[in-house]
Structure formats: C-alpha cells, structure tokens
Amino acid sequence: MKVLQTALNIPADRVFSYLPPENVPPEFCLFKRLKVPFGKGYEIGYALRVEDFISPIPKTPSQDVLFGGGFSDVKTDGVKLKTVLEIIDDEPVLSEELLELARYICANYLCSLGEALACIISPAMRDLKSVKAKKKNSGISFPNKNSAQRSAIEYKRLTKEQSAAYERIKDALLSGKGGKFLLFGVTSSGKTEVYLKIIDLVLSLNKSAIFLIPEIALTAQFSDIVFERFGSIVGLWHSGVSAQKKFSLFKGALRGDIKIMLGARSAVFAPFKNIGAVIIDEEHEHTYKQEQKPSYDCRDIASWRAAYHGACLVLGSATPSLEIFSAAREGAIEMLEMPQRIDGKEMPQIKILSLKDKARFGANLLPETVSALSQTLKRKEQAIVFINRRGFSSSIMCRKCLNVYQCPNCSVSLAHHKIEYGAHILKCHYCGFSQNFTEVSCPNCKSKDLAVFGIGTQKIEDEIQKLFPYSRIFRLDGDTASKKGVYEKAYRGFKSGDYDILLGTQMISKGFDFERVSLVCIADADTSLYLPDFKSVEKTFQLIIQTAGRCGRGKTAGNVIVQTYHPEHYCIQCAKDYDFLSFYNEEIRRRESLFYPPFCSIAEITIRNKDEDKTFEEAQNLLVFCKEYAERNKISAQIFGPAECRIKKLNNLYRMKILLKGLKKDILSIASSSFKYQKTYSVSQIITDISPL
C-alpha cells in the first residue's frame, strides 16, 4: 500500500501518512498542497514523498496508532489511515530548492517543516478560477509593456561611482559565481538606478530577479519605476495583494511569465527556477524580520537563495545595519561605496534644536521650526514632518490620584485618538481595545482634573493646521494607512503637488523621492532612543539620516530640523554631521563591551500564561532546565533571566522572557530544548525568537 508522507502546518516534528483520493495515483499528489482530515477538522498539508506503508507495532494490543487523526477510512493491522480530502493544486508548487529552504528555516528558526512550508507557500493561496471572488489586483494599474518594448526605455547615464558599483556586480554575475555586496550609498546617490541596471543584465542572461523594499508605502513609487522599465514581466507582492492574486503571481513565476518579483519581505520566496540577483533596498529596516513564527530574517533567506542559485545578493543602504557593515569591513561582504549625491547635490543641512525649554513656548513645534515651515510654504515648496508615534496623545493621567488610563488587556497606557466628527477615543495600539473618552472624569476617583501627556501625529497635525490654516496636509500613519488605497494616494497626491505637508510615522522616513521637498522636521527624535532594546540608538541614528534624506533632491537645497531632549547624545551629533563611521565606531565599541551582535547571536524565549504567578513559576523552572541542559551538553552560552517583558501583559497573557547569548549553534541547541520542556512539563505558551529585534 502506497501512502503520502505529508507535512502539516502545525508545530509537530513529524510528517503524517495519508492515502491518496480514490482512483488517484499517489505520485500525482507529490509536491502539491492537500486538504487532509486532522482531529475533528482539517489541515492544509504538503505532499513530500510516496512511500510503502509500514505498519508500526502498537504499544499494547488494544492501542491504535493514528496517522492524521480523526476517524479512519481504511484500517490495516490496527492502524487507522485517513484519505486526502482534496488536492488543492493542479500542478506541483514545491521544488527541491524550496523544500531544502524549508528545512533550512526549520533548523535555523526552530519550527516544524510544515510551518516553514506554509511560510514559503501560503495555505491561503487559491487559484483565481476556482474561487468565487472579485478578480482585483493590488489596486494599482500599470502599463502593459512586454519585454520587447523595454528596448525603447532609455537608462539614465550612470555617474562614475554608479558605474564602478555596477561593473563590479556585473563581473560577479557574468562569472556565474555570484557574490554578496553592500551598496553603501548616501540618500539620493542613485542606488535605484544601479538596481535597475543589474536587473536588466539578469534578464539578458535569461535569469530572474527578486527586488525587495521595506515598506508597503513605497510600492506605488517603486512599481512606477520598475513597471516603466520592464512592463508585464514584473509581479508586485505585498500584504495588500489578495490570496487569489498572489497565487496567480506565484504560478506566473513558476511558469516563467514573471521574471521580476517586486515586493515586501515575503516576496523573497518567489518560486523562480533560475535567480540571477536578489536586491534588498534599505537593508537595515526592521520590517525585513518576520515577527510571527517562523520568525525568519529576510536577509538570511535572501543570502541562502542567492548562494543556492550562484546569484548576486545586493544589500543597499545609506545607514547599513551594524551587523552587515561589520561583515563588510571583515571581508565577508564586498562593500561598494557611493558617497556623493547625484549631480553633486549637497546633503541637506541638519540643525539640532533642544526641547528642554519647550514648556516656555506652550507648543510642540519650536518657534524656529514654525518659522522654517512658514518660509517653505511661502516659497510654494513642500515639507515632511516626522513623529514616530501615532494618535493624539500617548497617555492620559488623573492629576488627583495619578491614575493612568490603561488597557484592560495589556499593561500599556491607552493612547488618546481623535476620530470622525470630533469624537475622542482611548485606544490600545497592541490589542486594538478602544473605549469612548469624554474627558469628564477619572474612572478611579471621578476627578475631572485630567492631564494629557505626549504627542502623536494627530496632535502635530492639529497644531500645524492652526498655524497654517490654508496648508494642505496629508497624514500617513498606522491609523490612516489601514484604509484601502491610502499609500498610493499619499505618494501620487504629494508628488503631483496636491499637498504641501506630508506628516507621518516611520513609513514616510525612507525611500520616498519628491523633488519639491526642501524641509524635513523631526518633531521628536527621542521616541526610540531610550527603549529597552540594544538597537535603540542605531535605529534612532538611521531614522534621522533616512528622514533627512527625503529633502534636497530637486533644484532647491534641503534643510532639516531635529527637535530633541538630548542634543548632546553621540547618536544625534553623528547624525547631524552624516558621520556614519564615527557612529559605527562608538556603537560597535559599546556592543562589544556588552556582548551583543555582531559579537554573538541571541535568542529570546518568551513564556506566556493568563496567570501571573504561573508565568513566573514556569519561567523560573524553564531557566533552570535550560541551564542544566547547557551544563549537561557542555554548551558555553550566556543565559539571562527570567525578566518581565517590556510589555508585561499583552492580550490578557502575562509574559516573561529568557535571553540567550552565544554562538548560533549553541543558542539554537538551548532554545530547542525549550520545546522539550514545554511538551513534558509546561502548561504555558513558550515562544522562541531567533535574532529578535
């Protein structure tokens, strides 16, 4: 009897045996997704291989061994076998490469094979023809150019620095060996043009390219550029694309109709059979790290796929992550520098303003900032205002009893938001809880003396609107971006001059190229500076440089104002002078002294439980278990904790964490032991994150 060995999208370190549907040869199911019975329901599985059925010996004569769970269709030798309910795919969607990649993800991010495969090929994807759904694309229309028409598109002439970078990558591509490159170029140095030339060369070699961007907000801008150059052979992949459209793109990439996949993080899994280049723009961005299990790092996956295909991996940034820059300085990655802006344009001047005396002015924008905005608007130029916090105010407190409005599900303050028709709500940015807020009385002591603390995009928007009532402001943050078509509206509207000021969070701080922007205001540079995160200083430096880089790209010189409570901080001072090397030297020294990446690998094990005492008890027990495991196996890694997570309670679950530091193989070994602990002893959720942010 032949059975299908099938990996399921569940946290189980095994495959399951199923019978193929009646009158269907088992080989027909191979490398396809299957709908299979499991327990009282069903799961989506991935058919990996066909094997002869070998009946296991039950532990006792009366005990049956279940394969796939549920009730049996066929029973043989006391073993219950289930039959596949549905073959989802007409053609195989898996390849040997993608299966090998799934095994790599399993080993390096501690998940099951089925979970890794579900990450690569989503169970939700369905054929457009077989689903009753509106056949809509991502909401952006593109010119329908074919590859023959591309020859009519003229490339911009490359500068000396662009040419040097391109020629080096070209040599690696033509050699057939590929390589890893850091394209270290200041903002507006022309990195995108180098990317496009690389893609053109890849296509001439009859290969495919993956082009990754960090933010869905950038898809409108980059899709315009890439589709203009390459037409209908481009696929656009991000979270706003429907499951049906994604499957159409997936099949197009398999068939070879699509040669370029442009998109966010998960586009790295495009099933191309012959990849020539994987390009990651703004490689330092945190959005390239998957938060949900399996918590993979997109740069790691891109590196693996490039090596598998003998392709070139190109990592571009004006502010590279310390890990990548360190690897480049040590020779593991080849660094290609582009230190000048196109056409010799000067970098915008950055002016630092102290917020320490802000109370004297009774406003969040200092007088000098307001004056700069006023002059910009008078000249009919555009400005970008950045504040990395959405909402109106970050917290509400009673002055009498000092009670802070907190989320009932999470240990965080409720943020104050203004909604339509002037109404006010309190909202949790983590679980989504909200309640009406009338600013009448404290729920604890009934006092009406309430204080509003902190600022967000809505408060800054109100302030600017009052100062400049005729200015046209577009706010782009997590609240507005949830509406369909907002990203495209922001990009196209601001580019065409429909708006004077683009105000928003970090989604406006990268990639955007607007020629009429002459002023950037960073309303508060400190929102990420003192977070309990070893990358907090690095992120702050990157945000300042990247946001500053949005201006001065046209004929008008750019100016940047940075408001901060810590003007003397080395991060702020280095950013003011665009001095990446000095910042790197200081930050890398601190990382080494504290033994943080790139000097080690880290993993975080989080324990979650509805009961606070049980969470603490489990965390203590797991810590002892991990230390004993390390000692027993002679693993020399550092194990810290347990400690409360920064947000102690989230979605009604209390959380504690254990931190591991050491060689990657050692922390993977210790982290994997937590699964054994959970299976044997624990009643809590235990989540492991390798290389957490």
Q: What is the DSSP letter of 491?
A: H
User: Residue 359's pLDDT is what?
Assistant: 66
Q: Could you tell me which of 269, 326, 273 has the C-alpha nearest to residue 296?
A: 269
**Quick one: 91 and 107 in the same domain?**
yes
Q: Could you tell me which of 220, 216, 137 has the C-alpha nearest to residue 481?
A: 216
Tell me if 32 sits within 8 A of 94, measured CB to CB. Answer: yes
Q: For position 624, which CATH number holds? A: 3.30.70.600
Q: Answer whether residue 431 is part of any domain.
A: no
- For residue 624, with 0-12 CB atoms within 10 Å meaning exposed, 13-18 middle and 19 or more buried, which class applies? exposed
Residues in the chain predicted with pLDDT less than 50, given as ranges, are 57-77, 130-152
Structural domain ending residue among the three candidates 283, 316, 343: 343
Tell me if 507 sits within 8 A of 482, measured CB to CB. Answer: no
**Sheet order of strands, 434-436 included:** 415-418, 424-427, 434-436
Contacts of 141 (CB under 8 A, 6+ apart): none
User: Residue 676's pLDDT is what?
Assistant: 82
Read out DSSP for 598-627? Answer: TSSEEEEEEEEESSHHHHHHHHHHHHHHHH
Q: Answer whether residue 444 is part of any domain.
A: no
Q: How many Cβ atoms from other residues are within 10 Å of residue 137's Cβ? A: 13
C-alpha 474/C-alpha 502 separation (Å) is: 5
**Quick one: 473 and 611 in the same domain?**
no
**Quick one: 492 and 371 in the same domain?**
yes
Structural domain ending residue among the three candidates 284, 308, 343: 343
**Quick one: 160 and 286 in the same domain?**
yes
Q: Answer whether residue 596 is part of any domain.
A: no
**Quick one: 155 and 301 in the same domain?**
yes
Q: Answer whether residue 85 is part of any domain.
A: yes
Q: What is the CA radius of gyration of the chain?
A: 27
Q: For position 57, which CATH number holds? A: 3.40.1440.60
Q: For position 174, which CATH number holds? A: 3.40.50.300
Q: Answer whether residue 261 is part of any domain.
A: yes
**Quick one: 489 and 509 in the same domain?**
yes
Q: Answer whether residue 98 is part of any domain.
A: yes
User: Residue 129's pLDDT is what?
Assistant: 57
Tell me if 685 sits within 8 A of 653, measured CB to CB. Answer: yes
Q: Answer whether residue 425 is part of any domain.
A: no
**Quick one: 329 and 474 in the same domain?**
no
Q: Answer whether residue 111 is part of any domain.
A: yes
Q: Could you tell me which of 335, 330, 294 has the C-alpha nearest to residue 598?
A: 330
Place of tokens 């400049």: 468
Place of tokens 């032991």: 673
Go through the chain and tell me how many residues it has: 693
Q: Could you tell me which of 189, 186, 185, 193 has the C-alpha nearest to residue 157?
A: 193
Q: Can you read off the two tokens belonging to residue 465?
A: 């609107």
**Quick one: 351 and 329 in the same domain?**
no
**Quick one: 605 and 584 in the same domain?**
no
**Sheet order of strands, 653-662 included:** 638-650, 653-662, 601-609, 685-690
Tell me if 344 sits within 8 A of 439, measured CB to CB. Answer: no
407-417: burial string, b at 16+ Cβ within 10 Å, e else = bebbbbbbbbb
**Quick one: 574 and 646 in the same domain?**
no
**Quick one: 365 and 332 in the same domain?**
no
Q: Could you tell me which of 195, 174, 173 has the C-alpha nearest to residue 314?
A: 195
C-alpha 286/C-alpha 123 separation (Å) is: 25
Residue pLDDT, tens place only, 402-428:
888 888 898 888 887 877 656 778 888
Place of tokens 């990268």: 510
User: Residue 665's pLDDT is what?
Assistant: 95
Structural domain ending residue among the three candidates 558, 590, 622: 590
Residue pLDDT, tens place only, 454-496:
788 888 999 999 999 999 999 988 877 777 788 888 889 999 9
Host H or E run for residue 166: helix 160-175
User: Residue 421's pLDDT is what?
Assistant: 58
Residue 610's domain comprises 601-690
User: Residue 68's pLDDT is what?
Assistant: 35
Host H or E run for residue 588: helix 580-594
Q: Could you tell me which of 85, 276, 112 has the C-alpha nearest to residue 178?
A: 276
- For residue 222, with 0-12 CB atoms within 10 Å meaning exposed, 13-18 middle and 19 or more buried, which class applies? buried
Tell me if 183 sits within 8 A of 316, measured CB to CB. Answer: yes
* Structural domains in the chain (count): 4
Tell me if 288 sits within 8 A of 320, measured CB to CB. Answer: no
What angle do helix axes 486-495 and 219-230 make, rounded to 10 degrees?
Answer: 70
**Quick one: 546 and 570 in the same domain?**
yes
User: Residue 418's pLDDT is what?
Assistant: 76
User: Residue 339's pLDDT is what?
Assistant: 94
Per DSSP bridges, beta strands 334-338 and 179-185 are parallel
Sign of CA dihedral 319, 320, 325, 328: negative
What angle do helix axes 664-680 and 612-632 make, rounded to 10 degrees?
Answer: 130
User: Residue 238's pLDDT is what?
Assistant: 87
Q: How many Cβ atoms from other residues are within 10 Å of residue 330's Cβ? A: 9
